[in-house]
Structure 1
Amino acid sequence: MQHEDYDWISRRAHEIWRAEGCPHGRNQEHWSQAVDNWRDKQHELAPPAPTDHVRRVMVVDDEALIRFATVEALEDAGFEVFEAGNADEALVLLRRCEFDAVFTDVNMPGTTDGLGLMAIVRARSPRTRVIVTSGHVRLGAFDLASGVSFIPKPYAYDAVVGMLKGPGA
C-alpha cells in the first residue's frame, strides 16, 4: 500500500471515529470502514481499461528523423500509424478520427507540450492508451496521468511495439 493511501485511510478512520462521538474500543471497526471507503473510492477513480487491441496509433514528435523511424517501425509491426510534428497538429488529428494509442514526446514547440497533450487525450478519450517519451526528463508514475506509460529516449522500437501490443501479444 502506498504511503498516501495509508494516510487517506488513517484520516478517514479518524473522521468516522469523530462522527460517532469518539467512542473507545471500536478502532478496528472504524479502520475497516475506512478501508472499505478507500476501496470504493479507488474503484470510482479507476480509469476505464485501455483498449485491448491497438490498431491505430498516432506518433507525435517534433524531431522528424525520430518520428519517421518510429512510424516506420510501427507500420512494419502492423499498426495503422498517423504522425504529427507537435501537439497542435496532434489535436487537429484527434478531432478528425479516433486513435487506440498516442505515442508522444514531451518537449515540443507549440501551444502545449506532450504532457499537455497527454492530459487532453486522457480527458477526451480515457480508453486511449498513451505512452510518453523523452530524452531530457525522466518521468515516474506521479508525473503522469493514470494509465499512462513512460519510455525514455533512446528507446528500442520493439519495446514500443511491445508496450502497444500488450502482454502475451
Structure 2
Amino acid sequence: MDQERYNWISRRAHEIWQSEGCPNGRDREHWSQAVDDWDSRGQADPHIGLNAVVDHVRRVLVVDDEPLIRFAVVDALEDAGFEVLEAGNAEEALVLLEGTQVDAVFTDVNMPGSMDGLGLMARVRARSPGTRVIVTSGHVRLGAFDLASGVSFVAKPYAHEVIVSMLKAPADSS
C-alpha cells in the first residue's frame, strides 16, 4: 500500500471512529469502511484527498432551532445568491441530507433533540468529508481542537456578511 493511500485511509478510519463515539473493538469495521471510501472517492479526480473541501458553495443547509435567527440567516444567504435549505434541529437536517446534496452546512451547537450541532458536524464530516461546515454558538467558544478537520467556528452574535464571506471564500486547502 502506498504511503498516500495508507495515510488517507488511516485518517478516514479515525474520523469514522470519532463520528461513532470512539467505540472499542470496531477498528476492523472502521478500517474496511475507510478502504471502501478510498476506492469510491473522486474517481474522476484521483488527487482529491480526504480533506478536500468543496471550492464553490452553491447550496447551503442552515440548522438552528431558533426560527427568527434561522430565517434571518436564510434570507441573508439567499440575498447573496445561495440556494438555501433549512432545518430546525439535527434530526431534521439528517433527513434533508439523505435526499439532497449540499455544499455547506451552517449549524448552531445547542439544539433540542437527540443530537446537537457537534454531533451533526461529526455525521456530516463522516458521510461527506468535502462538505464545508460552519458551527456557531452563543453559549460556548470552540477552537480548532474542539472541531473536526475543516470545520470553522463563528461566535454569536455574528454579522451575516461574515457567514456569506466564509461561504464565498475559496476552500482552505490546508
The TM-score with structure 2 as length reference comes to: 0.70
- The question of whether the paired residues in 2 share the 8 Å contact of 1:47 and 1:147 is answered with no
Which runs of no fewer than 5 residues in structure 1 stay unpaired? 1-36
Superposition pairs of residues 1-169 of structure 1, within 5 angstroms? 41=7, 45=11, 47-167=50-170
Deviation at 1:47, TM superposition (A): 3.0
% identical equivalent positions: 72
Residues 99 and 42 of structure 1: CA distance in aligned 2, closer, same or farther (over 3 Å): closer
Higher RCO (CA 8 Å, separation ≥ 6 residues): 2
Q: How many residues align?
A: 130
State whether residues 106 and 132 of structure 1, in contact with CA within 8 Å, keep that contact through their aligned partners in structure 2. Answer: yes
Q: For each residue in 1:95-130, what CA deviation from the matched residue of structure 2 results, as whole angstroms up to 9, or x when unmatched?
A: 010100000000000110000000000000000000
TM-score norm. by structure 1 comes to 0.72
Alignment gaps of 5+ in structure 2: 12-48
Deviations 1:30-68 (A, max 9, x none): xxxxxxx9xx85896373311110000000000110000
- Following TM superposition, the consecutive aligned residue runs of length 4 or more in structure 1 with deviations greater than 6 angstroms are none
**Which one has a larger percent helix, Structure 1 or Structure 2?**
1
The alignment yields a C-alpha RMSD, in angstroms, of: 2.0
In structure 2, what is the Cα distance between the partners aligned to 1:167 and 1:84?
25
Report the Cα distance in structure 2 between the residues aligned to 1:126 and 1:100, rounded to whole angstroms: 10
Q: Which amino acid aligns with 2:107?
A: T
**CA distance in 2 between partners of 1:149 and 1:43 (Å):** 23
Q: What residue is the counterpart of 1:3 in the other structure?
A: none
Q: Which amino acid in 2 is paired with 1:83? A: E
